[in-house]
């Protein structure tokens, strides 16, 4: 085979043996590009970013809104004499809610993270909104009870 200016016979033999060409002790760029095309290129996968617990989780429909919407109906109001059982039930509900919202943390770490996120603007606004809803609900209930008491007094 005729040798070109950048390729010598001993380099050709070495390239056939090792799969790369060497020119004056340095790797040749043209031949390695061809070899790289034939060899299986390693697949580069990007690391998945871990989903972190953020304020948006707490203010979503599955966050504090779910606690406000579902917990009052799952907890009995008359717990006299069985407070420990009611507390255990409530803790179980909170643990399940924490796992459903963000399964990557154990309950204690979830509580710590929630306490720190609870100082944020979005969470504070949501909590104020939920408290106002409860006040309105309690006022309506008192007014209804007051009206029914006054009707009974008239009879």
What is the pLDDT, as a whole number, of residue 142? Answer: 92
Q: Flag whether 67 is in a domain.
A: yes
Query: So what's the pLDDT on residue 127?
Result: 96
Are both 10 and 80 inside the same structural domain? no
What pLDDT score was predicted for residue 21? 46
> What is the reported pLDDT for 12?
57
Say if 43 falls within a structural domain: no
pLDDT digits 0-9 by tens, 11-39: 556 656 665 544 454 544 555 555 555 56
Contacts of 3 (CB under 8 A, 6+ apart): 9, 12
Whether 39 is in a domain gets the answer: no
In the predicted model, residues of the chain with pLDDT beneath 70 are: 1-39, 150-155
b/e map 85-113, b = 16+ CB within 10 Å: ebeeeeeeeeeebbeebbeebeeeebeeb
Number of domains in the chain: 2
What's the pLDDT at 4?
52
- pTM (predicted TM-score): 0.60
Domain shared by 1 and 67, yes or no: no
> Which pLDDT value is given to residue 155?
60
Which structural domain range is residue 106 located in?
Answer: 55-154
Regarding whether 145 and 80 lie in a shared domain, the answer is yes
What's the rounded Cα separation, in Å, for the pair 62 and 103? 13
Q: Give domain status of residue 100, yes or no.
A: yes
If asked whether residues 63 and 125 sit together in one domain, one would say yes
Q: Do 56 and 122 contact (CB within 8 A), yes or no?
A: yes
Per the CB < 8 A criterion, the answer to whether 28 and 21 are in contact is yes
How many C-beta atoms surround the C-beta of residue 67 within 10 A?
Answer: 16
Q: Does residue 84 share a domain with residue 123? A: yes
């Amino acid at each position: 085979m005729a040798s070109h200016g950048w390729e010598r016979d001993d380099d050709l033999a070495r390239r056939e043996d090792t799969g790369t060409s060497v020119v004056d002790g340095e790797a040749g760029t043209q031949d390695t590009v061809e070899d790289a095309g034939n060899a299986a290129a390693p697949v580069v996968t990007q690391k998945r970013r871990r989903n972190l617990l953020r304020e948006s989780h707490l203010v979503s429909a599955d966050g504090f809104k779910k606690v406000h919407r579902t917990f009052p109906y799952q907890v009995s109001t008359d717990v006299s004499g069985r407070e420990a059982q009611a507390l255990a039930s409530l803790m179980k509900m909170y643990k399940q809610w924490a796992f459903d919202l963000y399964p990557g943390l154990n309950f204690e770490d979830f509580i710590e993270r929630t306490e720190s996120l609870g100082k944020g603007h979005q969470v504070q606004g949501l909590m104020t909104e939920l408290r106002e809803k409860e006040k309105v609900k309690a006022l309506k209930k008192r007014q209804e009870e007051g009206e029914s008491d006054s009707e009974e007094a008239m009879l």
